[in-house]
Amino acid sequence: MSLDTLPPEILEQIAFQLATDPVLGPPAHLRALLLAGRTFYDALCVDANPVLYAGVFAAKFDRRRLWYRGPGGRGGGGGGAVGEAEELRRRCGVLGRVKARRGCYRRLEARWDSEGEGEGETREILWTAYLMMLENDGANERHLRHAGIDGWLRDFWAHADGASGVARCMSEGRWPEDGDETALGMWLFWFLFKPEKYKDDHELTRLLKMFALGAHKYPLCEPSWVDFRPPPLPPVPEHSLVPHYGARIVLRPPPLAVPAILSYLALVNRRPASSTAAHIATLATMPIPPTAPATVAVIGGASRGGECACEWGRCLALGGGGGGGDGRPFRPGSLEGVWEGMFMYSEFPAYAALLAGAAPEVLYRSSVAQHRQTWKLREYHYRRRRRGGSSCGCERWGDADADETRGEEGKKEEGEGEVGEGEMKGPLPAGNPLRGYLSPGTRVEEESGRTWIEFRRSEGAVRYVRAGEGEGEGEGQEEDGEEVQDVVVTGEGHSAWGQFNLLGRVRPCDGFITLSKIYIDGDRGEWVYRGYLVGDAYGNLAGRWRDSLTPVGEQGYEGCFAMSRRR
């Protein structure tokens, strides 16, 4: 029997086995069959048989989000066999460029050719690898490491001609610029981080220290932490749309500060004291060092939405989109429990010099102290009937506080109860960011064993229910037909400085967490902790603390922190 006479299903099975053996790398063996004759090519090429290539894609890569339709039709489409076949082609092309070390250098023309030269190539590689890690269950990471992503990232950051430009700026005594490419590169570095590979890399430690502690140059979030309900961000230009499963979608990466903090603390807390003495003034290792998502995929612990589902939701929010399913930037109930970690601070004179315009060398040379701390957190939710639109339980960018502005005629909506006497309608209004987004005069009534708390204000009281009480078992911790509109966090903890109470709120649009930390004795003052929860089952709560005396419109004294869930 001639190969030309084989039934189509047998021919496709042969092609599938060739394409997936080996699993890592492009389907190179399939090329020989395609070149064997016109009959084979016509039956097996990607245009004629996208279902075959979609099956190859599913066998090789992890896939969680097969398509996403952008807001207002922008970036819509994608998915299906055609979208997966296109994603297979694009990922294999990008991985080939990673292997050839393309896009990670700026001025080494010998390593570049005329095709794809420039910033566009670097950007596509970074976005593709980043989105692969957001979907990672192990296979995507193996493909990236097989292609040499660790070396690619090392050169991107630390080579004298690295595409990030950071090494050149550091050698010239300048602060590197903060942009989408450096943000993507730092998130990738954290997602793939293995601290044992960098334990003796002092240049990389300096780089991470600069981004982690340089709060006056590298903000935690976009838009500003000052706004609880921020105005819309500028739209993403058409040329910046991100390729994804055959579509071009609207995404923005979160800033680089949080992954830099996680990488820095994970690195210095795995070094012996002797090698860190010049770097850390008061060494106190973290009881549970931050866990990178790549490690989670190995030990198994991600939720069904993926360990990085909220990072995907955050990218959508920054891009101006909504998103259903796993498109939420914060999963209600995820802060509940006991957290252990560290807060870190640099010398006050050195930080004051930085605020006055000093070069980054001052930060490199400054001593850093760190102390352990333990938090016990509780979440309380304001819930209401879902009124359509996004099912993620989070407000869209630019939404006004509907419950504060909808007027008398809107006091009762379909599915909502009457506003009782002495009760406020809607959640708490936006408050002071230095007090965890709560307004002055707000009193919290929390009793042991009670499943709800009341916030009393002059205009009435509003009740928030403890996370998990009367809620569903799903990832959103919400009853059918209800959504969590607002999350308030309370708690207490202790450190070497004494015992303290915590009170704050989660910003609905992007999951940004702000907590006021007040020491009980009163002699240690009040501090503001701001950051994000990165990851799920093995998530890390990381960000920066700030003094509460400096006005919000001015640069204050800041340090960094990271907390891991006690298991």
Q: Please, which residues bridge with residue 547 across strands?
A: 527
Count, residues in the chain: 567
**Cis before 223? omega within 30:** yes
Under 8 Å between Cβ of 144 and 195: no
At residue 512, the 3 state secondary structure works out as coil
> Hey, how many other C-beta atoms are within 10 angstroms of the C-beta on 498?
12
Angle between helix 180-191 and helix 149-158 axes, rounded to 10 deg: 130
Distance of alpha carbon 94 from alpha carbon 102, whole angstroms: 9
| DSSP string covering 204-266 | HHHHHHHHHH-TTTS-SSSS-TT-SSPPPPPPPPGGGPEEETTEEE---PPPSHHHHHHHHHH
Instruction: For residue 211, give every residue at least 6 positions away whose Cβ sits within 8 Å of its Cβ, in sequence order, or none.
Output: 186, 218, 256, 257, 260, 261, 264
Tokens of 87: 């994603």
Tokens of 365: 């040379």
At residue 346, the 3 state secondary structure works out as strand
pLDDT in tens for each of the 567 residues of the chain?
566 677 888 889 999 999 999 999 999 889 888 888 888 888 889 999 999 999 999 999 998 765 444 443 344 445 689 999 999 999 999 999 999 999 999 864 444 444 444 568 999 999 999 999 998 989 999 999 999 999 999 999 999 999 999 999 999 999 999 999 999 999 999 999 988 888 788 889 999 999 999 999 999 999 999 999 998 888 888 878 899 888 888 899 999 999 999 999 988 876 654 444 445 544 456 667 677 766 665 444 444 556 788 888 899 888 876 544 456 899 999 999 999 999 999 999 999 999 999 999 999 999 888 899 999 999 999 988 765 444 333 444 334 343 433 333 333 333 333 344 455 667 888 999 999 999 877 777 777 777 888 887 666 788 899 998 755 444 444 555 678 999 999 999 999 889 999 999 999 999 999 999 999 987 788 999 999 999 877 789 999 999 999 999 899 999 999 999 987
pLDDT value of residue 394: 42
CA 94, 97, 101 angle in degrees (round to 5)? 140
Under 8 Å between Cβ of 292 and 301: no
- pTM for this predicted structure: 0.87
pLDDT value of residue 70: 42
At residue 395, the 3 state secondary structure works out as coil
pLDDT value of residue 221: 93
Closest Cα partner for 246 from 106, 53, 108, 447? 53
Distance of alpha carbon 447 from alpha carbon 454, whole angstroms: 10
